[in-house]
Amino acid sequence: MATLRFFDSHTHLNSPAFEKDCDRIWEESRQSGVESAIIVGYDLANSERAIELCRRLRGTYAAVGVSPHDSVKAPEDYLDRIRFLAQDAAVVAIGEIGLEYHHPIGRHDIQQKLFQEQVALAKELDLPIIVHSRECESDLVAILTEQKPRRGVLHCYTGSLQTMEIAIELGLHISFSGIVTFSKDESLRQCVADTPTNRLLIETDCPYLAPSPHRGKRCVPQYLIHIAESVAAIRQNAPHVIADSTFQNALDLFKIEQ
């Protein structure tokens, strides 16, 4: 696997968990073959931090947005501030945005409002969206169907096969995380198997969700290789097929020229 190139479609190298050592962590990831990554913001300050890191971590790109977790705390002018941040050359997506109904983190109507507004902003700026979704499928489908984003990805996908098929129909990509390395959920495996090859992405979502055999540790982009191996096994592909196709899909989705 040492000669393969990987693209980690969802990282939080801008998280406080990497404050002290993100340069070293990213250098190790590059040496292990994880050459490129999206650094995803979840609120305004953290989105700015994503842009800042992209200036010095080679092969990284930023996404800016307010996540459902942070939607209740968002200042009134948050949308203008995201629009401003999105002008930076490092920014390739609006995210992460979406709906989170599993954890009791805030009113659903506020989450929906911010989600809709940021999907509309992404369309205005011709940027893809990076969507967080948990236990919200009917509202998610309603908003996506109504807003019709131009491009985007359902990140860390763990939803139903039916919702995945609707997302594919709408032109979206699907990204799978370390959960695929340890989950016994048959429907998740089915989703991994059924995602069209040209819509498939992989991600670590680091520092969260470390894959097997590193569960419980701080997750790092280097662990993406374990996720690629699991996805390859489920799809009965060689790992290099998954590495190559997910790398190319990320370049296409985020319009990155290399």
Q: Please, which residue, 180 or 232, has the CB nearer to Zn ion?
A: 180
Q: Near Zn ion by CB under 5 A, which window of 49-57, 96-104, 144-152, 165-173?
A: 96-104
Structure tokens at 99: 């709906």
Site string for Zn ion, 196-235 (x = CB under 5 A): ----------------------------------------
| Helical (H) or strand (E) element with 36 | strand 34-40
User: Measured from the CB of residue 203, what is the shortest distance to Zn ion in angstroms?
Assistant: 8
Structure tokens at 66: 């307010």
User: Measured from the CB of residue 166, what is the shortest distance to Zn ion in angstroms?
Assistant: 22
The span from the CA of 132 to the CA of 100, in Å, is: 7
Q: Near Zn ion by CB under 5 A, which window of 88-96, 117-125, 224-232, 241-249?
A: 88-96
Q: Near Zn ion by CB under 5 A, which window of 75-83, 92-100, 133-141, 224-232?
A: 92-100
- Site size for Zn ion (CB under 5 A): 1
Is 249 within 8 Å of 240 (Cβ atoms)? no
What is the side-by-side strand order in the sheet with 91-100? Answer: 6-11, 34-40, 60-64, 91-100, 129-134, 152-154, 173-176, 200-202
Binding site for Zn ion (CB under 5 A): 96
